[in-house]
Amino acid sequence: MEVEDIYIKLKEKFGEAIIDLVNNPPSDPFINVSPEKLFDICLELRDNPEFDFDYLMCLSGLDYVDNLQVVYHIYSMKKKHKIVLKVTVPKENPKVPSIERIWRSADWHEREAYDLFGIIFEGHHNLIRILLPYDWEGYPLRKDYKEPEFYHGIRVPY
């Protein structure tokens, strides 16, 4: 199934929650999605036999200074088609519904995005830091991050 067909089918079902389709080759075409309906959209993509997306390839976080973005690369092993979803949330209140219950591979990916960007995935069963120490302050991959002077008495800057 082509991305345009998927977009039209999703638009019919979810209406306003599907914002737009952006297609500038050579980059992958992607669909902007509103965060409120994200869980239902992902569930539809997995469970509708027409889509049959059974594999979350990648979940990444992005920082656009004012906004934070989460990007989902989803693939269907059986139908061999692929889709990219993007969700944008404001930096002051970065809350995105967790899709960890739909694709289990999202579990650690969401923890990593939380660890480094501070995106809060609502509904995640164990949203704690995955790479950095548990007592780390701040989210290091954000553009406005300042590196700490000391960590447990060890000087950090060069």
Partner 1 sequence: MGLLDRLDNPYDTGGIVLGTLEDILNWGRSKSDWYLHFGLACCAIEFMSMNASHFDFMRFGIIPRATPRQADFIMITGTVTLKMAERIKLLWEQMAEPKYCISVGSCANSGGPYWQYGYHVLKGVDRIIPVHVYVPGCPPRPEAMEEGMMKLQSLIDQQAIFRKRKKLAEEEELLQIKQR
Whether the link from the prior residue into 26 is cis, omega within 30° of 0, is yes
Q: Which is nearer to partner 1, 80 or 155 (CB)?
A: 155
CB of 135 to partner 1, least distance (A): 10
Measured between alpha carbons, how far is 127 from 112 in angstroms, rounded to an integer?
Answer: 9
Closer to partner 1 at the Cβ: 26 or 133? 133
Taking the complex as a whole, the smallest distance from the CB of residue 126 to partner 1 amounts, in Å, to 19
Measured from the CB atom, the residue of 64 and 136 that comes closer to partner 1 is 136
CA atoms within 13 A on the CB side of 81: 18
Least separation in angstroms between CB 156 and partner 1: 7
**How do beta strands 95-97 and 120-122 pair?**
parallel
Of the pair 92, 147, the CB lying nearest partner 1 is at: 147
Interface contacts to partner 1, rule CB under 8 A? 132-133, 140, 145, 147-148, 151-152, 154-158
Q: How far is CA 7 from CA 29, 32, 142, in A?
A: 10, 10, 31
